[in-house]
Amino acid sequence: MELAESHDHWRFEGLANVCFLALILGAVFLEKPLFLREALMVAAAIGSYFTTRKPVHQANQFNFHPIQEVAILFAGIFATMMPALDWLRVNAATLGNPTPAFFYWGSGTLSSVLDNLSSVIRERFKVKRQVKVISAHGRMTALVLSLLPPFVGLAQMVIAPDNFKVLFTDPMGIKMLVAALVLQGIGMLVIRKIVNTEY
């Protein structure tokens, strides 16, 4: 006897977003009145976000991180464009008559440089987080080793104050106390240098 094959079922959730997408595509062709196209796109995006159920967002792993990244990137681009535009305004005559190929290859090269730069920045932050996690144990050990001598000294002061007073009353005790503080400071600097990883 053959077992009945199970059939896969699929369903479409968030069907209303098709309407919002059609609204955005239609708004692309609008030119008048001013800012109507942008207003429709923003309204469609807001409507899609608030009318779509949270499980649909979670199933598609939706978040605003890509939008934030693009916003920061474009803010940086527009902020750095102003000095370049000022320079061109002053020195445009010295460029002669550049060809369209000049602008094509120049803009393409600039775009690739910015793209690679953003990738390098993301990888650098990723490495920094990994290094911080890996060196957490070492940093905690360094903190304990740095605080242990002062803690032992305070405990000795409470438990046996008469023995500890010698360090402040006897000349040799004062020298020993100063030497201990200097060595403690050197030890903390050495431990910090070992634990802090440069990246």
Q: What is the pLDDT of residue 5?
A: 53
Q: Give the tens place of pLDDT for each residue, 34-61.
A: 888 889 999 998 988 888 888 888 888 8
Per-residue model confidence as pLDDT tens digits over 156-190: 778 877 777 777 787 887 888 888 888 888 888 88
Residue 198: is its pLDDT beyond 80?
A: no
Length of the chain: 199
Cβ 152 vs Cβ 180: under 8 Å: no
Residue-wise pLDDT for 94-117, tens only, equals 777 777 777 777 777 877 887 788
**92 has a pLDDT exceeding 70:** yes
Closest CA to 21 of 49, 48, 53: 48
Of 99, 180, 110, 192, nearest in space to 145 by CA: 192
Tell me the CA end-to-end span of the chain in Å, nearest whole number: 66
Rounded Cα distance between 108 and 121, Å, is 20
Rounded to whole angstroms, what are the CA distances from 5 to 1, 8, 108? 12, 10, 54
pLDDT tens for residues 145-156?
A: 778 888 887 887
